[in-house]
Amino acid sequence: MTERGLIDPPTVNDERHPSDLAEILERVLDKGIVIAGDIKIDLLDIELLTIRLRLFISSVDTARKAGIDWWETDPALSSRAARDTLAQENADLRTRLHALESRIGAEELSTVGAAEEERRP
């Protein structure tokens, strides 16, 4: 809990302050009304999630400053097992990313296919 004070005021047991990085990212990345800007950041929902996960996994120090410190209390992520866990998580994420990418690819193909069918008289 001592680390939390860097950004967050100390909070009650089951209360999360609105400045928690996880909560901010959850809302800022996924929410807000959709108005297309001129600059196209073609980050699909899935990609945003991937970035978010990568942030959590890779940027432990930054996140801890933001009050996210679950790995410190999680025995599976303590120094003893940290390396194995990260490798495993990396592998898992890679597998999931591949699956999602191929699904998106398939969906795009089917959209194109549907559009072509519509064009036909």
What residues make contact with other proteins under the rule CB under 8 A?
14-41, 43, 51, 53-59, 62, 66, 70-71, 73-77, 89, 93
Shortest spacing between CB 23 and other proteins, in angstroms: 5
Choice between 54 and 103, CB closer to other proteins: 54
- Distances in Å between the Cα of 15 and the Cα atoms of 19, 35, 113 are 12, 32, 49
CA atoms within 13 A on the CB side of 115: 6
Choice between 58 and 110, CB closer to other proteins: 58
Shortest spacing between CB 30 and other proteins, in angstroms: 8
- Which residue, among 67, 61, 96, 92, has the nearest Cα to 2 in the 3D structure? 67
Shortest spacing between CB 119 and other proteins, in angstroms: 26
Choice between 83 and 119, CB closer to other proteins: 83
Phi, then psi, of 98 in degrees rounded to 5: -60, -45
